[in-house]
Chains A and B, each alone.
Chain A
Amino acid sequence: MQQSIPESLKISPFMAAFVVVSMQIGIGVLGFQRIISKDAGYDAWMSVIGAGLAVHIIVWMMYKICEGVDGDVMAANIFVFGKTIGNSINTLFIIYFTMTCLTLLSGLIEVIRTWMFLSMHPIFFASVYLLLGIYIVNGGFRTVVGISLFGIVVPAYLLFSFLAPIRYGDFTNLLPIFDHTPVQMLKGAYNMTLTYLGYGVLLFIYPFIKKPKESKKWVHIGLTATMIFYTLLAVITFAYFPISLLQKSIWATLEMWKIVKLPFIERFEYLGLANWALIILPNVAISLWVASRVAKRVYHISQRKAVLFIAAVVLICVLMLDSRERINIFHDLQAKAGFILAFIYTPFLYILLLIKKKVNAK
């Protein structure tokens, strides 16, 4: 259905999990606690688990879609909807992943400007960061995957820093359990799904995985790891903050880092923030790669040019997102689009694919 990928460019099934997980851990980690506890209060940690399980189901569907056409989602779209409509939907993906890249970059710049360099002009940082992204994408998919690995492994030491707030935490904050209505919990879960977003790349990297069947195991293990990480982080945060204070903390994770004390480092959040630039990097690189790859497949242009063009668009848009309000509006928009793609479009496509296969078989 599509040109096959040379074996030497494919990645091992194990690595697929790193791509998915690194895409899932983004700017959201720094401040998801406030958003999920808005509706579900301190019962939100259950929403985190619930949303995590829902993600497993969606990823299972994504695998089914890709297996069904033995290719990526673009092939599935064309198979189900025909060439014209299929490619129109694929074009939407370019826009979505450009938006993702923009969200991450503007989010990162906002955190940096809030916490580190008040007077930093976004244009320099965004240009350098996008150049870095282009450089990685130009290295090919393997380089992108390599950055995903480093983006998880190198900053992994930050996990230990979350142990520090436990000492000061009051875990009775979480009691009583089941204090909220199921609707509130569901709302919390809905908000959590936005933080989980990113596993959608699976639909695009599927043809690049060496033994896709084997990768299922690893990807699901990865998703579980993310779920455990988010749940623990939520629980620690809830124990650390009284609920009224948490509602005022936009970057709860960063604020928690303030309590970390080491003999040679006073303000740990600086280190964490600097490392966050490395954690966001795979996200930016992967979304640039996906957007440019879709552009290449749909419009038959060279991927090098597509990357440059998309990066230029992102750069211009970053400059326009210059206030907290605009960023908020944009992030909400992007999150909604992500939710629709994951929880409405994916099942819809899956069902249509099944029907189409049945019809074709007859």
Chain B
Amino acid sequence: MVRDMSIFFRRRRRQKEQDDKEQKKQPSSKGNAEKDKDKNKDDEKANKHAEEWEKELSKSTDYQKKDYINRKTGKKFIFTFIPTLVEEKVLDNNALPPLLEEEFLKIIDVKKLLPIADVEVSSDTKKIAQKLLDGYVLLTLEEDTREFAFFSAKKTVVRSVTSPEIEFSVIGPKEAFVESIGDNLNMVRTRLPVKELIIEEYTVGKLSRTKVAVIYIDGITNKEIINTVKQRIDDIVKDEIADSSYFTQLIADNGNSPFPQLLDSERPDRVASSLAEGKVAIIVDGSPHALIGPTSLTEFFNAFEDYFLNWILATFIRMIRLFAVVFSIMITPLYVAVVTHHYELIPKDLLVTLVASRRVVPFPPVLEALFLEVTIELLREAGARLPTKVGQTIGIVGGIVIGTASVEAGLTSNVLLIFIALSALASFTTPVYQMSNTIRLLRFPFLFMAEIWGILGMTIAFSFLIAHLLRLTSLGLPYMEPVFPLRLHDFKDALFRLPFSSQSKRPTFLRTGDSSRFSKDKAKKKKDIDE
């Protein structure tokens, strides 16, 4: 095969040399000669380039060049391709029959013959290597190698669309993104079939050449936000992008923050609804998670299922979730603070219960708490790394056996065990995985501060947290919105989920081109009694 290719190029070179000689024999007008010279130079360069890619590609064993002969003209034509990237069926069923049976003389005729949409005729050798790597087949005629044709026969390995696993909902659509960018874009487009939906594609990464699509609705999404996203994507220098989560980190406003600054979602319905709000979505090829921005802290505690439920229920569940987060972060540090520093803080009866449960524990409260917290973290980490079925067993073993045993052994108090188990449970209510990881981490600084200065230390830790959150931005917009800057209008879909009839305006902080979603008067119109 290697030899085949080199012969092909040697022949090409020879042909060119002949051409050169002919030109020398017949000097045309001066201008023409100069042009030809330039052309020759270009040709030489291209040739050199072509040989280089050929040399590189032929090092791999999955590189093929095959000769075929047309039955009518008896001419030879050659397919060059990378079989691991190419769907053989396309070659066998679509490309070969017409090329073998029908008469064709020039490469340009191939366009008419092939029943394939993506056929390109070119003479630019620089393109060859990239096209081959994108799953194209190169078609050349033996006689004239200057022009050649490409046609797409890309083989894509994709799994079929499944139901969402991380953002599962009991009711509502059961479709989740897959790894193929084409399928993902299809799922978004079918949900928003308007001409204003704009998809812009970029290629990022010197090695992975990952395709990235930026999606927004023209006229609704703020131009500045779109430009920010484009600018940040242009600025990415990383050579390899494996997943959209790389993007979250690479284009985040503050890379040194444990808080996710872009919302990731595996639900096409959530992406479509965010786009309708005036946000930008980023879909990365090879990743089943789309990114949505700009986002705010409160959005990470909203499950998309909130919108499938009645607003009263949804608001109630949101409140429970927010309470769970605060509880999950604060309860263990509070225990440590009270037991270490402020036993006067709690009433006597409660203190008796606490002391009784701690009577045999030989450690200071902070070590006791750390021991249990670390155990829980270990269980969680082990559960995440192990296959599902083994993971469940680990959960049971850890939760029941270690917990009970450590209380019986007198290493921990059972009150603390209840608190820690509850706080672990509460941390699972956060609908966005990335955020629940952050909450896992936040508990520890609070724990240390509680050990040093009790509830005063917790206040200091809380202040640091607030200050950090106030400094954060998501694509240039404040992260703490609508709490700060205070926008009372945006509370309608932040801490609460008010009925759809009062959601007639898009979030103010997005500064959308068209702030009105629908006519409010019409939605709120009520009939009088007995009419």
**A interface residues with partner B (beta carbon < 8 Å):** 11-12, 14-15, 112, 116-117, 120, 125, 128-129, 132, 135-136, 138-140, 142-143, 145-147, 149-150, 263-267, 270-271, 273-275, 277-278, 281
Contacts and interface: CB of A to CB of B under 8 A. Distances in A.
Contacts of B316: none
Contact of B453 (A15, A117, A149, A265): A117
Given A11-B485, A264-B350, 16 more contacts: A15-B485, A112-B456, A129-B460, A132-B460, A135-B468, A142-B470, A147-B463, A149-B483, A264-B347, A266-B346, A266-B347, A267-B344, A270-B344, A270-B345, A274-B458, A277-B459
- Interface SS, A side: helix
Interface string B450-479: 000111101110111011101100000010
Contact of A135 (B455, B456, B467, B480): B467
Given A116-B456, A149-B486, A277-B460, A267 B467 contact: no
Contacts of A149: 483-484, 486
B486 A274 contact: no
B460 A146 contact: no
Given A125-B453, A271-B345, A277-B456, A135 B484 contact: no
Interface string B168-191: 000000000000000000000000
A267 B467 CA distance: 28
B332 to A, nearest CB: 17
A78 B470 CA distance: 34
A12 B471 contact: no
A2 B470 CA distance: 28
Contacts of B347: 263-266
Contacts of B467: 132, 135-136, 139, 143, 147
B455 A271 contact: yes
Choose among B347, B458, B470 the residue with the greatest number of A CB atoms under 10 Å from its CB. B470
B456 A265 contact: no
16 contacts: A12-B486, A117-B456, A120-B453, A129-B460, A135-B467, A139-B470, A142-B478, A143-B471, A146-B484, A149-B483, A150-B470, A265-B346, A274-B454, A274-B458, A275-B459, A278-B459
Contacts of A277: 456, 459-460, 463
Given A125-B453, A274-B458, A274-B459, A265 B485 contact: no
B494 to A, nearest CB: 15
Contact of B455 (A11, A120, A266, A274): A274
Nearest to A108: B456
Nearest to B478: A142
A15 B486 contact: yes
Nearest to B337: A274
A271 B182 CA distance: 56
Given A143-B467, A265-B346, A14 B456 contact: no
- Interface SS, B side: helix
B348 interface: yes
Interface in B429-464: 453-456, 458-460, 462-464
Nearest to A263: B347
Choose among B342, B348, B478, B483 the residue with the greatest number of A CB atoms under 10 Å from its CB. B342
Contacts of B468: 135
A145 B480 CA distance: 13
Contacts of A138: 471
Please classify how large the interface on chain B is, using the bins under 10, 10 to 19, 20 to 34, 35 or more.
Answer: 20 to 34
A147 B458 contact: no
A19 to B, nearest CB: 12
Contact of A12 (B341, B470, B485): B485
Contacts of B344: 266-267, 270
A147 B462 CA distance: 11
Choose among B456, B462, B478 the residue with the greatest number of A CB atoms under 10 Å from its CB. B456
A139 B460 contact: no
Contact of A147 (B345, B348, B470, B486): B470
Nearest to B349: A263
Choose among B350, B462, B483, B484 the residue with the greatest number of A CB atoms under 10 Å from its CB. B484
A205 to B, nearest CB: 15
Interface of B: 341-342, 344-348, 350, 453-456, 458-460, 462-464, 466-468, 470-471, 478, 480, 483-486
Contact of B345 (A125, A139, A263, A265): A265
A116 B454 contact: yes
A270 B455 contact: yes
A270 B463 CA distance: 17
A281 B74 CA distance: 88
Choose among B345, B346, B467 the residue with the greatest number of A CB atoms under 10 Å from its CB. B467
Contact of B463 (A120, A267, A281): A281
User: A-B pairs with the 10 shortest C-beta distances?
Assistant: A146-B470, A139-B471, A274-B455, A146-B484, A277-B459, A143-B470, A274-B459, A274-B456, A136-B467, A266-B347
A353 to B, nearest CB: 32
Nearest to B351: A266
B470 A266 contact: no
Contacts of B348: 266
A288 to B, nearest CB: 13
A266 B354 CA distance: 15
A142 B469 CA distance: 12
A65 B43 CA distance: 76
Contacts of B459: 274-275, 277-278
Choose among A15, A120, A270 the residue with the greatest number of B CB atoms under 10 Å from its CB. A270
Contacts of A281: 463
Contacts of B453: 117, 120, 125
A149 B467 CA distance: 11
A117 B337 CA distance: 13
Contacts of A135: 464, 467-468, 471
Nearest to A150: B466
Nearest to B472: A139
Contacts of B346: 264-266
Contacts of A275: 459
A146 B455 CA distance: 22
A187 to B, nearest CB: 35
A150 B345 contact: no
B460 A150 contact: no
A128 B350 CA distance: 33
Nearest to A275: B459
A116 B466 CA distance: 24
A263 B485 CA distance: 36
A270 B342 contact: yes
A43 to B, nearest CB: 36
B321 to A, nearest CB: 19
A111 B341 CA distance: 16
Nearest to B466: A150
Contacts of A278: 459, 462-463
Contacts of B350: 264
Contact of A146 (B345, B462, B480): B480
B185 to A, nearest CB: 33
A40 to B, nearest CB: 34
A265 B338 CA distance: 11
A355 B172 CA distance: 72
A128 B463 CA distance: 11
A115 to B, nearest CB: 10
A134 to B, nearest CB: 10
Contacts of B478: 142
Contacts of B458: 274
A197 B152 CA distance: 76
Nearest to A143: B470
B486 A14 contact: yes
A352 to B, nearest CB: 36
A11 B485 CA distance: 8
B459 to A, nearest CB: 5
A132 B484 contact: no
